[in-house]
């Protein structure tokens, strides 16, 4: 077995001591035996995985209860218990058969790590960390390259693609490089022009066509040390092609994509389809970049069986139909039928074809939309009726899968989806960055999965409709080795991060997070947010951007989950509109008519409009909220499941039914459970509900349960809440309504003031 062994143990921290009658050690205790013969298992490692093993005999004899192995990007840094880079092997865990070896999977090629191990003892005592070393010094492993010393700087391996007026360059990430210096010149000249970049790709623009150039590059580390130059490339730019191009046959279409004319185009270059194009039996290579205008002239592309998009990057696309006779089985983790990314507007583009993406596991982020993976320009009057299926037999990380665009940092208007959008895996194995949104778990949306929002663009959606089922399934959440926050599923958008206006969902929103045993999984968080319009914005720090205005949901929302450690959420409009802190955004003029059904052993907050807390104005719920089974700490309400942090509810109407056939912690008409934070809200609201189930002490027409006794909460101060309906079979009337306004748990007279009147 080929291997590299640790030659020395390196102590990285001091012991911590707390004095008492008998001195006790906490933290690192150098007297405790550490793992020995810590070895890099080269034979069982790969470009995306790291395997190690060690001798644990002496540490077990000394009383160690577990071993922790970690991958760190810097020497002497603190602990990182993200499950993708930290494994703890517990000796008492009968599921773990091999207790002196582990393998990290799903890593990125050319990522670099120090590898270390320690023994863990009772009462939070640890041995010294032991590193993989060479010549008695810790060394970094660069996946797909090998072990290197800390001051090594890799040399860029340049590849170049000539265009008519530019040269595009790319290279693999270089070891220990923080930036790169790319230099170019006319082949006939002596002076170089330099461009610095932190990326691993660069486009040299404003060049002359049919001209020879020289290109080279070098890497720089954080201390400014430079690598040697790469090999100098001799590149001649292409001859600029004549446009427009009129395409009438499949052979002309194939010739265009097999040639180099598209790569010489500029933003004014036009390709016109003048007839339907039948690609039966044809193979189409992906065009890297076409910045011009692709005009389908309302013609269709038929019988295309593809594994890659038409373009990697494209400008304007309009008036094009992808026929139902086409089908796609992508081989890369980013896919859109038209393009990976659009830099120009999509207008009147329709897809009718199915997309099926499958793998044993997805180690990279999955970004998939019927038309485009990364939407970077406006999309208007575009439609999808094809089914999109993304399935991992084992695990996946972050994902963005939707009917039009996986990710969108622009405006979508007058678009629709009728296809079934489905994402499934056994379990989620860590988070990913989706374009520029960090810490992403899988997100599924009818039209868009993740919205983007920065100085270069802003997600927004107006006048869009979904009629297809949107589905997110994990079949073995008890296989996770760390918390998963937060998977999103939404009828219109998974996780929006921008405004949604006048959008309507009629399709089922379905989320299933099941444990393989069928019992509650409480060891790690596995949170899902399911909403008729959107799952919400509670997915990354600082991203609370979504006003939801004038939207309706008529589709059923069904959530089955066995995750009971932390709160999932479901809402007829939005599951969780933002962080729990007071928000400036608002859900306004929205109506839910869809039923929400909760089952499994899940701990959840579910409401007819919002599951978790946010601002609401003039919203109505007419659907039924049904809690069939789940954790007894769950809360449900006709309008919102949980409300807190001073967010406001004004002029809202809670109709429909609220039904708990299993124990819940709070059940209410307006609010299932209100947090112990100061509130003055509820003005102009109406409750006319049928409430069934729940305990009398945590059940009420306005509020089911108060979380605390100390914060002033006033409901209906300027316009009392109108109440009617039935509570657990009792019909509400003018004589008894005051007995059913709120639950008694934690209710404190004078601190909690709820002004109500009987009526509708």
Domain ranges of the chain: 3-148, 159-236
Least confident among 11-20, 108-117, 311-320, 412-421: 11-20
Q: 144: which 2 tokens?
A: 């797909």
pLDDT at 84 (0 to 100): 61
Tokens 């979504």 -> residue: 546
Which CATH topology does 3-148 take?
Answer: Immunoglobulin-like (2.60.40)
pLDDT at 303 (0 to 100): 98
Average confidence (pLDDT) over 494-501: 94
Average confidence (pLDDT) over 136-144: 88
Q: Which residue has the higher pLDDT, 136 or 32?
A: 32
pLDDT at 2 (0 to 100): 46
pLDDT at 79 (0 to 100): 60
Q: 74: which 2 tokens?
A: 């810097």
Q: Give the pTM.
A: 0.79
pLDDT at 16 (0 to 100): 36
pLDDT at 8 (0 to 100): 37
Mean pLDDT, the chain, as a whole number?
A: 91
- 3-class secondary structure, 739: helix
- Omega prior to 486 cis, within 30 of 0: yes
Q: What is the pLDDT of residues 598-625, one digit of tens each?
A: 999 999 999 999 999 999 999 999 999 9
- Omega prior to 244 cis, within 30 of 0: yes
3-148 matches 159-236 in fold: yes
DSSP β-bridge partners for residue 405:
372, 448
pLDDT at 518 (0 to 100): 86
pLDDT-derived band at 108 (thresholds 50, 70, 90) equals confident
Average confidence (pLDDT) over 685-707: 96
pLDDT at 751 (0 to 100): 95
DSSP assigned state of 633: T
Which CATH topology does 159-236 take?
Answer: Immunoglobulin-like (2.60.40)
pLDDT at 11 (0 to 100): 37
Q: Decide if 337 contacts 356 (C-beta within 8 A).
A: no
Q: What is the pLDDT of residues 620-665, one digit of tens each?
A: 999 999 999 999 999 999 999 999 988 999 999 999 999 999 999 9
Q: Tell me the DSSP string of 569-613.
A: EEESSEEE-S-SS--S-EEES-EE-S-EEEEES--EEEESSBSS-
Q: Decide if 591 contacts 620 (C-beta within 8 A).
A: yes
Average confidence (pLDDT) over 305-332: 97
Q: Which residue has the higher pLDDT, 271 or 286?
A: 271
CA-angle at 331, arms to 276 and 272, nearest 5°: 25
Average confidence (pLDDT) over 275-285: 95
Q: How many residues does the chain have?
A: 760
Torsion 247-252-253-256 (CA) sign: negative
Say if residue 519's pLDDT is above 90. Answer: no
- Non-local (6+) Cβ contacts of 638 within 8 A are 607, 608, 621, 625, 654, 655, 656, 657, 658, 668, 669, 670, 687, 689, 691
Tokens 């209906």 -> residue: 716
């Amino acid at each position: 077995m080929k291997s590299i062994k640790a030659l020395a143990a390196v102590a990285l921290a001091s012991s911590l001591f707390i004095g008492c009658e008998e001195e006790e050690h906490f933290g690192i205790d150098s007297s405790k035996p550490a793992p020995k013969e810590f070895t890099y298992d080269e034979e069982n490692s790969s470009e995306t995985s790291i395997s190690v093993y060690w001798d644990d005999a002496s540490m077990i004899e000394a009383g160690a209860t577990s071993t922790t192995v970690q991958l760190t990007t810097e020497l002497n840094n603190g602990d990182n218990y993200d499950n993708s880079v930290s494994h703890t092997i517990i000796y008492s865990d009968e599921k773990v058969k091999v207790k002196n070896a582990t393998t990290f999977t799903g890593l990125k090629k050319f990522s670099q790590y120090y590898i270390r191990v320690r023994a863990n003892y009772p009462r939070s005592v640890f041995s010294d960390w032991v590193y993989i070393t060479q010549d008695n010094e810790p060394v970094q492993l660069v996946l797909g390259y090998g072990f290197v010393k800390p001051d090594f700087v890799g040399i860029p391996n340049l590849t170049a693609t000539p265009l008519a007026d530019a040269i595009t360059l790319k290279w693999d990430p270089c070891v220990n490089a923080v930036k790169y210096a790319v230099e170019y010149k006319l082949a006939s000249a002596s002076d170089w022009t330099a461009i610095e970049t932190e990326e691993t790709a660069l486009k040299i623009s404003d060049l002359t066509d049919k001209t020879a150039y020289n290109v080279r590059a070098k890497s720089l580390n954080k201390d400014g040390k430079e690598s040697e130059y790469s090999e100098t490339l001799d590149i001649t730019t292409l001859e600029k092609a004549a446009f427009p191009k009129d395409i009438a046959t499949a052979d002309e279409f194939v010739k265009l994509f097999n040639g180099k004319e598209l790569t010489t185009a500029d933003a004014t270059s036009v390709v016109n389809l003048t007839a339907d194009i039948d690609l039966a039996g044809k193979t189409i290579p992906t065009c890297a970049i076409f910045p011009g205008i692709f005009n389908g002239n309302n013609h269709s592309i038929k019988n295309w069986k593809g594994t890659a998009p038409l373009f990697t990057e494209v400008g304007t696309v309009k008036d094009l139909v992808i026929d139902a006779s086409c089908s796609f089985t992508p081989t890369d983790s980013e896919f859109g039928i038209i393009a990976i990314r659009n830099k120009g507007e999509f207008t009147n583009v329709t897809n009718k074809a199915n997309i099926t993406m499958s793998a044993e596991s997805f180690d990279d982020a999955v970004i998939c939309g019927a038309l485009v993976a990364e939407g970077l320009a406006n999309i208007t009057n575009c439609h999808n009726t094809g089914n999109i299926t993304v399935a991992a037999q084992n695990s996946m990380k972050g994902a963005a899968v939707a009917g039009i665009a996986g990710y969108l940092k622009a405006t979508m208007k007058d678009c629709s989806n009728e296809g079934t959008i489905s994402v499934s895996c056994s379990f989620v194995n860590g988070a990913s960055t989706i374009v520029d949104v960090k810490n992403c778990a899988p997100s599924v949306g009818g039209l868009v999965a993740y919205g983007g929002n920065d100085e270069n663009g802003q997600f927004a959606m107006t006048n869009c409709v979904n009629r297809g089922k949107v589905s997110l399934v994990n079949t073995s959440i008890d296989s996770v080795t760390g918390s998963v926050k937060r998977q999103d599923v939404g009828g219109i958008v998974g996780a929006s991060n921008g405004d949604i206006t006048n959008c309507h969902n009629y399709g089922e929103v379905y989320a299933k997070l099941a444990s393989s045993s069928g019992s509650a999984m409480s060891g790690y968080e596995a949170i899902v947010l399911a909403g008729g319009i959107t799952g919400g914005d509670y997915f990354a720090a600082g991203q609370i951007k979504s006003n939801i205005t004038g939207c309706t949901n008529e589709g059923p929302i069904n959530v089955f989950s066995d995750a009971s450690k932390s709160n999932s959420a479901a809402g007829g409009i939005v599951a969780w509109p933002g962080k729990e802190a007071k928000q400036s955004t608002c859900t306004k003029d929205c109506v839910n008519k869809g039923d929400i059904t909760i089952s499994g052993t899940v701990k959840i907050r579910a409401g007819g409009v919002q599951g978790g807390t946010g601002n609401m104005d003039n919203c109505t719920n007419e659907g039924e909220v049904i809690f069939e089974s789940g954790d007894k700490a769950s809360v449900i309400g006709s309008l919102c499941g949980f409300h807190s942090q001073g967010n406001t509810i004004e002029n809202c109407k809670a109709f429909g039914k609220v039904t708990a056939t299993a124990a819940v912690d709070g059940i209410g008409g307006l609010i299932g459970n209100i947090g112990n934070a100061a509130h003055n809200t509820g003005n102009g609201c109406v409750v006319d509900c049928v409430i069934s189930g729940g305990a009398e002490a945590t059940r009420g027409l306005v509020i089911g349960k108060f979380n605390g006794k100390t914060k002033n909460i006033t409901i209906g101060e300027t316009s009392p809440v109108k109440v009617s309906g039935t509570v657990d079979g009792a019909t509400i009337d003018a004589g008894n309504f005051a007995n059913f306004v709120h639950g008694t748990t934690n209710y404190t007279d004078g601190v909690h003031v709820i002004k109500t009147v009987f009526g509708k």
